[in-house]
Amino acid sequence: MSPEQPVTPAVVPGTPAANATPEAPARHAVPSAKQGPPTVPTYAPPIPKPAAAPASVAHDPSEDELDRTVVVSRKAAWVIELPDGRELDLPGDDVVIGRRPTAVGESDVLVVPDPTRTLSKSHARLRRTSDAWTIEDLNSTNGVFVFDDAGVQIEVEPGTQRLASEHLIVGTLEVRLRRAA
């Protein structure tokens, strides 16, 4: 053998290499112009969550702040107790009561159920100062009555205020004005 001639390996009949056809060169996964563009997913990307609020800076209260107590006053709740035992909460310290009451100035209103229909639309006005209530007849048709310490019934003249007793008569309804239980 001369050094210029290539050496060809010997092929043994019946072996796979003897029957094999030369392999085609390997193809790379590069799309050709005939295949078209690659498909892109059609779903929307996830929406990012908003950033968390920054943590607040810890406050180290001084001894004075820890020792100080804030004083609050709570208003006592008052009710009107109807003859059947139902209680109506008075919504404030200045309340107009009646079948379909209209506020006077800054007063609140309280609808009082009246099966006897003896209450006027805006029958009376109750006002509280500390623990004392006054009642005023708002020119009602059937009047307002309070009771003195001896239990004597006293009519409240329309347009005047009188100290309200626990037991009251508005129209023909006997009601009680008292603190809520």
How high is the pLDDT of residue 10?
Answer: 56
**What is the pTM for the complete model shown?**
0.59
Q: What percent of the chain has pLDDT over 70?
A: 60
Question: Which segment of 41-45, 60-64, 168-172 scores lowest on mean pLDDT?
Answer: 41-45
User: Which domains are seen in the chain, by residue range?
Assistant: 78-179 (2.60.200.20)
**pLDDT-derived band at 128, boundaries 50, 70, 90:** very high
Report the C-alpha gap between 180 and 89 in whole angstroms. 8
Is 161 a residue whose pLDDT tops 70? yes
- Paired with 167 in beta bridges are 176
3-state helix, strand, coil in the chain (%, to 5): 5, 30, 65
- Looking at per-residue pLDDT, the higher value among 45 and 128 belongs to 128
Calculate the average pLDDT of the chain.
80
